[in-house]
Chains A and B, each alone.
Chain A
Amino acid sequence: MKRRSIVKYAAVAAVLSLGLTACGGSGGGETKASGTVRVTLANHVWTEGIKASIPEFEKATGLKVELTQLGEDQLSDQYNVKLNAGTDEIDVMMYRPLQEGKAFAKNGYLADLTSKVSQDAGWDWKDYQDGPVKASTVDGKVVGVPIITEREVLYYRKDLLKAAGLAVPKTMNELQAAAKTIAATSPDTAGFVARTNKSAAVTQFSSFLYSFGGDFVDGSGKSAVGSDAAKKAYAFYGGLIKNFGPKNVSTDMSWPEAMAVFTQGKAAFYTEADSLYKNATDPAKSKVADNVGFAALPAGPAGSKPYNIASWGLAVNKASSNQDNAWKFIQWATSKERTLAAQKAGVPGARSSVWADPAGTSTYPKDLAEAIASSAKAGVGHDRPEVITVGKAREIVGTPIVSTITGADASAAADKASSDFQKFLDSEKK
């Protein structure tokens, strides 16, 4: 009797829970059938533009868009948790091809879009620039469509340069000399500022590394951060900040902090991604909005070699059961018209035709448009080590940056980082 009762209640409990799951399940199924595309996007100017135009898409396609918008770090964490659990609650996902692309593709999170991108000649996949296409292709398969591109440019203060009688630096040596002059003549203004956090600084340091003739990994896939060129680049970047940077410089600065120093009028030169330029030229955000100038990254011993990369892309979740509609959304969001609209709003895209169109750069400051054009030509397609666990790799190759900023010997720090990085590369091959 006793056993039977227990069995009975267990059965009731089981049926109840099944019933509840079934309700949940059917609910989800219905929304899919009615054509809801669930889109997860990062907080970005690009997202704001898309958000405002989503009603157009809904009207044209009869689909409904459910939008989730998150900060960069929360977005990463969300993906880590949800995609790890094999969720089908995300259809379209905004992701960082160079940061997460390889890992996500390897984990089987991203749907293969190769056949989809080549289907529609009007949408035109061939219109996309080579670097961004390479970044969103893993093992020969297209897994994403690049939406935002970035290049490193030099932000500078026109008024300070004029007052000091300085020309816009064309080479790294001129940059150093100009930063020195300004730091010496105006004690409250730093000659130079840039990111200092060891992980965040890696991308902005990369252009210096390339311009000095180095790279993170050499042609044979071995660590190259201990090379002479890399040592010189570390010493130069770290030295600029140590010697001519803000007083009490923090080693935690990512772009918001470094940008704040520049827009508060506390620095003359700043090297940063061009896609953030609105922060410096918008009077609501910047005290020096009227005096900001832009130039291509000064040339090092190997020339001016800034990165030219796809910082964000759109991908389809492989576990989504709504992949066709997800692709429809991506196709719309990355169309020539939308890309042009986004670019006019200040978000550099990846379509050659939009860059070739005068309207594509009509809203940009003239000197910035020129800097972008020259950077796009000589640009390197990556701004961080192209590995699977990018987070760890960035910490390793970023260590000599902070060591140099805090006064340690760049050469010794680079040697240590290089041996650590080689170990890391070996462990990834396993």
Chain B
Amino acid sequence: MSVQTAPRSASSRRSDRTTGARENFSGWANRHRKWLFAAPAMIFVGVLIVFPLAWTVYLSLTDSHGSVRAASEFVGLQNYATVLSDTDRFWPAVTRTLSFTGVALACEILLGLGVALLLWRPFRGERWVRVAILLPLVATPVAVGMMWRLILDPNIGLVNQLLGLVGIPPQPWLSGQDTALGTTIFMDVWQWTPMVVLILLAGLTSLSDEPDEAARMDGANAFQRFFYVTLPLMMPTMIVAVLLRGIDALKTFDILYATKGKGGGSFHEVETLNVYAYGLSFDYNQYGLSSAVLILFFMIIIGTMWLLTMRKKAASK
């Protein structure tokens, strides 16, 4: 028997080349796998976040108005100067944004913690209670806005009619210059406390029982066990809740727009930065100015987030 070495055919040479190319590619892919796997996400972030942000920064440095495609002049930081010196609309909007967020957040965390503690230990009918509590969360904010607008209508609304039964005079609620912001805060609390409850409940359930039992053995009462054991252990979870809910509350737009419309009412009584920027671009068509407001707003959010993250790190230590 003799072994013949057949001359290598053209096709096998070609397949060698393909195999070679495939190996080349897999080698290349292997060497760069961290980039390759991250590429879709990076392209996504680039196209949908970095580009629009960079474009907004660019717009904020121009006098773009009317149409974005129309010729606009580069004006440097003039828009920022205009916005920062605007005590008529911008600064009141900043104050409203911060007070809306601050008050809503404080109420939501306090109420959320209370409800989460009530739901922590198993009880009969627990599932029904949980479902009921989560209902506001699944409603769309615009629908929530319309619903409350009807309920709180100063003349034909249910709330004022009920108040009338017990002799309390009708309140203006959403239509009052001084009561509108408070009413929208109430609506935000009504809708978003359940989310805080969910987060805190998850945190509570993951706590181990030992520290609490140890404190009990040492004779600590319920009050002491809550303030010196449960609460410190819950701190990281609470900061997560504050972080998530805080950023969301800063950016609130839907319920404000659904209840008070453009400009946040006739006196701009619920005009937050988001509502203001929306009006600037969609009502006034001043894209340069609006972009400057949005960039400043973005910086406020980043700043708040940074502060909270620092706090979280300190709490985790």
Residue positions of A touching B, CB distance < 8 A: 1-2, 5, 73, 76-77, 80, 83-86, 103, 106-109, 196-199, 246-252, 254, 260-261, 264, 266, 388-389, 391-392, 395, 398-399, 402, 406
Bound form: Cα–Cα A391–B266 in Å: 13
- Decide if B175 is an interface residue (CB 8 Å cutoff): yes
- A406/B177 contact (C-beta < 8 A), A5-B25, A198-B266, A199-B262 known: yes
> Does A388 contact B170, Cβ atoms closer than 8 Å?
no
Can you list the 7 inter-chain pairs with the closest CB atoms, starting with the nearest?
A: A250-B175, A248-B154, A107-B67, A391-B283, A198-B266, A251-B266, A402-B266
- Chain A residue nearest to B279 (CB atoms) is A391
Instruction: Tell whether, in the assembled complex, residue A389 and residue B285 are in contact, meaning their CB atoms are under 8 Å apart.
Output: yes
Chain A residues with CB below 8 A from B267, complex form: 251, 402
Inter-subunit contact A196/B266 (CB<8 Å): yes
Smallest beta-carbon distance B147→chain A, Å: 16
B285 touches A80 (CB 8 A): yes
Contact of A103 among B156, B171, B285 (CB under 8 A): B285
Q: List chain B residues, Cβ under 8 A from A103.
A: 66, 285
The residues of A that contact B174 with a CB separation of less than 8 Å are 250, 252
Residue ID in chain B nearest A5 by CB atoms: B28
A8 → chain B, closest Cβ, in Å? Answer: 9
Interface assignment of B172: CB less than 8 Å from any CB of chain A:
yes
Interface centre among A85, A254, A392, A398 (most CB of B within 10 A): A392
Residues of B within 8 A of A (CB): 24-25, 28, 66-70, 154-156, 160, 170-172, 174-175, 177, 260-263, 265-267, 279, 281-285
Q: Which of B177, B263, B279 has the most CB of A within 10 A?
A: B263
How many Å lie between the Cα of A73 and that of B285 in the bound state? 14
CA distance A388 to B177 in the complex (A): 30
| Given A197-B261, A246-B155, A252-B261, A5 contacting B24 (CB threshold 8 A) | yes
> What are 23 inter-chain pairs, A to B, with CB distance below 8 A?
A5-B24, A80-B281, A80-B285, A86-B69, A106-B66, A107-B70, A196-B266, A248-B170, A248-B171, A248-B175, A250-B175, A251-B177, A251-B266, A252-B174, A252-B260, A252-B266, A260-B156, A264-B156, A266-B155, A389-B284, A391-B262, A391-B279, A399-B266
Which residues from A are CB-within-8-Å of B283?
A: 391-392
Considering the complex, give the chain A residue whose CB is closest to the CB of B67: A107
Whether A251 contacts B265 by the Cβ 8 Å rule is yes
Measured CB to CB, the closest approach of chain A to B195, in angstroms, equals 28
Measured in the bound complex, the distance between the Cα atoms of B39 and A101 in whole Å is 46
Give chain B residues whose Cβ lies under 8 Å from the Cβ of A391.
Answer: 262, 279, 283-284
Instruction: Report the separation of the CA atoms of residues A277 and B154 in the bound assembly, to the nearest whole angstrom.
Output: 25
- Rounded to whole angstroms, the CA-CA distance of A260 and B154 in the bound complex is 13
Residues of B within 8 A of A109 (CB): 67
**Given the complex, which residues of B lie within 8 Å of A252, measured CB to CB?**
174-175, 260-261, 265-266
Given contacts A250-B175, A251-B267, A402-B266, 15 further A-B contacts (CB under 8 A): A1-B24, A73-B262, A83-B67, A86-B69, A103-B66, A107-B67, A247-B154, A248-B160, A248-B175, A250-B172, A251-B175, A251-B265, A252-B174, A389-B284, A392-B283
Q: How far is the CA of A389 from the CA of B286 in the complex (A)?
A: 9
Q: A86-B69, A199-B262 are in contact. Are A77 and B282 (CB under 8 A)?
A: yes
Closest Cβ of chain B to A256, distance in Å, is: 11
Chain B residues near A398: list those with CB within 8 A. 266
For the complex, what is the distance from the CA of A85 to the CA of B266, rounded to whole Å?
Answer: 31
Complex Cα distance, B154 from A402, in Å, reads 17
User: How many whole Å from A105's CB to the nearest CB in chain B?
Assistant: 11
Nearest CB of B to A103, in Å? 7
